[in-house]
């Protein structure tokens, strides 16, 4: 496992070097996209949404199942929120930050943030304990769902806003750089989707500080490694919001639950 890679700072526009890095490796990491106060306010907002959803026994949002689990103290928590941007102004205002628009350039003028499509803005909350329901995620690509939908593979990127500072021993995102250039066969069969949790000799550990932003290509193979420590040091929160192109396909309260989302319930 390697942890060494170049990290960038986001300016008004992506530089040619940043474009080239992303095109070559299928990911890019920007330091300090938001400051610690913003991280705090986002985390607090997620706790408010969590309180509402527990009170109202929300099991799905726009057809997407919500993952619940237990915190270290045994309290019920939400471990995977979907469409969180539709449930608190802190999130809907956050995505209006004009710097997000500069990121759309990576796939071109047709691109948009999928705040009302797919799973919307997702917030994952991992914690490693016996009672936790979310400690890791097996190898996958994010683009497979489009194949399930019988659509042609539209460009899709996932933008991550990292709310926890991680060392490699805290687990977290592991990627296989360059796999966004593989053919369809490799995208389908390189690894067993979600079941394979084994470290890969070529994997890179993404090691963010709280407030950093990453982008990965929808065709890139990645997983979330379980923390090798337990308890508070294993707590990890990260937001994802997709950049997509192709036909606008908003979801609403009547949207069906699709097959892969049922499967995602098996992921612990």
Ligand X SMILES: O=C(O)CCC(=O)C(=O)O
Closer by beta carbon to Fe ion, 142 or else 217: 142
- Out of Fe ion, ligand X, none, which partner does residue 225 contact, by CB within 5 to 8 A per kind? none
Q: Which of 80, 113, 128, 142 binds Fe ion (CB under 5 A)?
A: 142
Residues 6+ apart with CB under 8 A from 129: 70, 72, 230, 231, 234
Half-sphere exposure of 181 (CA within 13 A, CB side): 8
- Out of Fe ion, ligand X, none, which partner does residue 177 contact, by CB within 5 to 8 A per kind? none
Sign of CA dihedral 240, 244, 249, 250: positive
* Contact predicate 128/230, CB 8 Å: yes
Interface residues with ligand X (CB under 6 A) are 124, 137, 142, 160, 173, 222, 224, 238, 240
Closer by beta carbon to ligand X, 89 or else 266: 266
| CA dist 139 → 90, 99, 201, 219 (Å) | 31, 30, 14, 12
Q: Minimum Å distance from CB 119 to ligand X?
A: 8
Place of tokens 């449930």: 87
Q: Which of 254, 230, 266 is nearest to 126 (CA)?
A: 230
Closer by beta carbon to ligand X, 45 or else 64: 64
- Out of ligand X, Fe ion, none, which partner does residue 173 contact, by CB within 5 to 8 A per kind? ligand X
Closer by beta carbon to ligand X, 3 or else 20: 3
Q: Minimum Å distance from CB 48 to ligand X?
A: 21
- Out of ligand X, Fe ion, none, which partner does residue 211 contact, by CB within 5 to 8 A per kind? none
Element (H, E) at 68: strand 67-70
* Residue 118, Ramachandran bin (φ over 0: left; ψ between -120 and 50: alpha; else beta): left
Residue nearest Fe ion (C-beta atom): 142
* Contact predicate 123/239, CB 8 Å: yes
Q: Minimum Å distance from CB 97 to ligand X?
A: 20
Q: Minimum Å distance from CB 137 to ligand X?
A: 6
- Out of ligand X, Fe ion, none, which partner does residue 175 contact, by CB within 5 to 8 A per kind? none
Q: Does 117 bind Fe ion (CB under 5 A)?
A: no
Q: Minimum Å distance from CB 11 to Fe ion?
A: 27
Angle at 58 between CA 96 and CA 268, to 5 degrees: 90
Positions touching Fe ion (CB under 5 A) are: 142
């Amino acid at each position: 496992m390697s942890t060494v890679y170049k990290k960038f700072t986001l300016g008004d526009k992506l530089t040619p070097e940043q474009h080239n890095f992303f095109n070559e490796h299928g990911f890019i990491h920007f330091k300090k996209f938001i400051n610690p106060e913003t991280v705090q306010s986002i985390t607090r907002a997620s706790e408010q949404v969590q309180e509402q959803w527990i009170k109202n026994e929300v099991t799905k949002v726009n057809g997407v199942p919500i993952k619940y689990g237990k915190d270290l103290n045994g309290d019920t928590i939400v471990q995977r929120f979907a469409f969180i941007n539709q449930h608190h102004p802190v999130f809907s205002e956050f995505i209006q930050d004009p710097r997000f628009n500069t990121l759309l350039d990576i796939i071109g003028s047709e691109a948009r943030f999928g705040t009302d499509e797919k799973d919307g803005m997702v917030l994952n909350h991992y914690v490693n304990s016996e009672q936790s329901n979310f400690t890791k995620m097996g190898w996958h690509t994010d683009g497979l769902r489009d194949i399930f939908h019988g659509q042609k593979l539209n460009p899709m990127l996932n933008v991550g806003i990292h709310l926890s500072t991680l060392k490699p021993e805290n687990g977290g995102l592991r990627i296989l750089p360059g796999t966004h250039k593989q053919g369809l066969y490799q995208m389908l069969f390189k690894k067993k989707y979600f079941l394979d949790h084994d470290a890969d000799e070529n994997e890179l550990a993404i090691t963010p500080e709280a407030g950093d932003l990453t982008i990965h290509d929808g065709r890139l193979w990645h997983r979330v490694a379980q923390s090798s420590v337990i308890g508070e040091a294993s707590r990890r929160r990260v937001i994802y919001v997709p950049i997509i192109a192709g036909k606008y396909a908003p979801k609403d309260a009547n949207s069906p639950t699709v097959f892969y989302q049922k499967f995602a319930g098996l992921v612990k």
